[in-house]
């Protein structure tokens, strides 16, 4: 597909060397609609993309990639909170910095998550004890087929662990154009994860939390500009309490996180590590040496290499723990998104 096609290697953090028929960029809502209509008139598939940090391209994409780069931030406040209305084309980590610089804390635990603001609600981004849903006031979307703009409250978004309505009922033909965050003025530090537990809650500043989160991330996670990856490849599995009891009996040192509904979340990285797979290589794909939940492109991996390794890991974990891991990363085939779970089964 080399003729009249464009490279996607720099538009996906896995750095898979694939191509698309065309790439177009929207800087405003009207431009977004125009570009969508133009591409759909050609009867080609359209893929809205942010930073490509949560996708795996399985092959060349036979359609138009539409980059949402609508910028702009508006801040308002009342006595209780700041309301930060951010357009989808802002870079998430820049937003975290802007809020901290303006002394509006609340996003410090979510520093350094790659990607754009418009993608953040899709999997309800989360890290170091905080999820987007805790600060999300509303999400604005445009229904592309009608051009209608709709505002969804945080409840409407049906947020869950790496979940939202945008992965299900609103997956197709809807684009997130802005997100509003509510940052309370009654800030309280969230210090329940990793090295953050060492801070004194009475004295710690948002900036110190931010610095510690950045340090932990730099230590553990491969920099996608140097090593192709899409962060955690699988979700952490959530199992029933009875299954968790059995597992803890067999593996007393397994890390586990009780959930509000009585179920228990496990660390997929620990399960994979426990099978001795850290650093394991298959074709051009490998498991990261420091963090077993991260699949990396060793240089020339294609989508099939990553899928083969993912299948191998899933099978190993199922054999050892009777748990089937589910991909967190979204899989994109020639004509659009495909069911990642089905592909790795
Ligand atoms: P993309 O990969 O471009 O898109 C993801 C999906 O959303 C695609 O299906 C795309 O079609 C769709 N989409 C994108 N923009 C829009 C839009 N405006 N409207 C509708 N659909 C859209 N995630 C976490 O939650 N926590 C972490 O700690 C974390 N750490 C990471 C670390 C590394 C090193 C990497 C590479 C990834 C990490 N991730 C993490 C995953 C990723 O950063 C997030 O999922 C992020 O929100 C993806 O943003 P993006 O703009 O790159 O999305
Ligand atoms: N662990 C191991 N070996 C490994 C990796 C992890 O034993 O190779 C153990 C750790 O020692 C720890 C536990 O597993 O006890 C959890 O590890 P870690 O703190 O690194 O977090 P994670 O569960 O692997 C999740 C998110 C990350 C997020 C971090 C911090 C998922 C799928 N991943 O990772 O998000 O940054 O917590 O909150 O929930 C992403 O979604 O792409 C992502 C990077």
Q: Is 119 in the pocket of ligand 1 (CB under 6 A)?
A: yes
Q: Which of 77, 337, 111, 341 is nearest to 233 (CA)?
A: 341
The residues lining ligand 2, judged by C-beta closer than 6 Å to any ligand atom, are 127-128, 193-194, 220, 231-232, 235-236, 255, 267, 269-270, 273, 278, 291-293, 328
Going along the chain from its start, the domains and CATH numbers come out as 6-68 (3.30.43.10), 73-217 (3.30.465.10), 223-344 (3.90.78.10)
Full pLDDT tens readout for the chain, 345 residues: 655 699 999 999 999 999 999 999 999 999 999 999 999 999 989 999 999 999 999 999 999 999 999 999 999 999 999 999 999 999 999 999 999 999 999 999 999 999 999 999 999 999 999 999 999 999 999 999 999 999 999 999 999 999 999 999 999 999 999 999 999 999 999 999 999 999 999 999 999 999 999 999 999 999 999 999 999 999 999 999 999 999 999 999 999 999 999 999 999 999 999 999 999 999 999 999 999 999 999 999 999 999 999 999 999 999 999 999 999 999 999 999 999 999 999
User: What's the CA-to-centroid distance between 79 and ligand 2, angstroms?
Assistant: 37
Q: At a CB cut-off of 8 Å and minimum separation 6, what does 94 contact?
A: none
Phi, psi torsion values for 180, nearest 5 degrees: -115, 130
* Atom of ligand 1 minimally distant from the CA of 124: 25
Mutate to test the pocket of ligand 2, among 52, 115, 127, 321 (most ligand atoms within 8 A of CB): 127
The number of the ligand nearest the C-alpha atom of 55 reads 1
Q: At a CB cut-off of 8 Å and minimum separation 6, what does 89 contact?
A: 27, 68, 69, 70, 71, 116, 117, 118
């Amino acid at each position: 597909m080399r003729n009249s096609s464009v490279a996607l290697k720099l538009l996906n953090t896995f750095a898979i060397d694939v191509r698309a028929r065309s790439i177009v960029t929207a800087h405003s809502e009207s431009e977004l609609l125009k570009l969508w209509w133009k591409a759909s008139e050609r009867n080609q598939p359209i893929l809205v993309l942010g930073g490509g940090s949560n996708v795996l391209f399985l092959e060349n994409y036979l359609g138009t990639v539409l980059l949402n780069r609508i910028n702009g931030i508006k801040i308002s406040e009342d006595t209780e909170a700041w309301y930060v209305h951010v357009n989808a084309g802002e870079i998430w980590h820049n937003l975290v910095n802007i809020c901290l610089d303006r002394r509006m804390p609340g996003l410090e635990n979510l520093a350094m998550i790659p990607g754009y603001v418009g993608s953040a609600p899709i999997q309800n981004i989360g890290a170091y004890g905080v999820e987007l849903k805790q600060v999300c006031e509303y999400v604005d979307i445009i229904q592309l087929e009608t051009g209608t703009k709709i505002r969804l409250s945080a409840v409407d978004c049906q947020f869950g662990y790496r979940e939202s309505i945008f992965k299900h009922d609103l997956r197709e033909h809807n684009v997130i154009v802005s997100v509003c965050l509510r940052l309370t003025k009654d800030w309280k530090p969230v210090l329940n994860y990793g090295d953050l537990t060492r801070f004194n809650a009475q004295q710690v500043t948002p900036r110190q939390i931010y610095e510690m989160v950045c340090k932990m991330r730099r230590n553990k996670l491969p920099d996608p500009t140097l090593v192709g990856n899409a962060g955690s490849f699988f979700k952490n599995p959530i199992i029933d309490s009875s299954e968790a009891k059995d597992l803890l009996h067999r593996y007393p040192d397994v890390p586990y996180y009780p959930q509000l509904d009585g179920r228990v979340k496990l660390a997929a990285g620990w399960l994979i590590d426990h099978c001795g797979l850290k650093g394991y290589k298959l074709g051009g794909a490998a498991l990261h040496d420091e963090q077993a939940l991260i699949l990396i492109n060793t240089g020339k991996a294609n989508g099939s290499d990553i899928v083969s390794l993912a299948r191998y890991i899933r099978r190993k974990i199922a054999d050892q723990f009777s748990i089937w891991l589910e991909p967190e990363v979204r899989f994109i085939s020639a004509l659009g998104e495909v069911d990642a779970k089905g592909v790795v089964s």
